[in-house]
A = this chain, B = another copy of it.
């Protein structure tokens, strides 16, 4: 509950790895999988998804592989998760399509939708570059601290 799937995790790791090795024109799925001890075939499918969603560029054939489609700063964790796991909603009864069947109106949803937006906002604010840098940029740390101060 409230957990990222391993696929999303793997995807983030893979993009981070690519961001850390910009010298290579293309790294194969196997390269990345070996680097992290991830099942290669599984990672392959994940990278394919990311390619289909425009986050990666792929090149088939020998010495082929994947490379970031954009600068690492321009790819957010949100995009990665969204590409792999699809749109996320905190609540089971997403008010998107057919809303909540239960009850007149589960008024609970409205505040939780706001939580949902907040989480999405935080994830959008984190770039692959941020993951690749071992030290977090200072301004982000401060933002996080003030954020907690505000919301508590």
Which residues in A have some Cβ–Cβ distance to B below 8 Å?
1-6, 8-9, 12-13, 16, 35-38, 77, 81, 85, 88-93, 102-103, 106-108, 110-112, 114-115, 117-119, 121-126, 130-131, 134, 136, 143-144, 146-148, 150-152
Contact = CB atoms under 8 A, between A and B. Distances in A.
Given A115-B126, A118-B122, A4 B91 contact: yes
B119 A1 contact: no
Secondary structure of the A side of the interface? helix
Contacts of A114: 136, 144
A105 to B, nearest CB: 10
B9 A5 contact: no
Given A1-B3, A13-B103, A115-B123, 12 more contacts: A2-B81, A4-B91, A12-B108, A16-B108, A107-B131, A108-B131, A110-B136, A111-B126, A111-B136, A115-B122, A117-B148, A118-B148
Specify how many copies of this chain sit in the oligomer: 2
A13 B108 contact: yes
A37 to B, nearest CB: 5
Contacts of A130: 111
A2 B90 contact: yes
A85 B92 CA distance: 15
Nearest to A85: B1
Contacts of A148: 117-118, 121
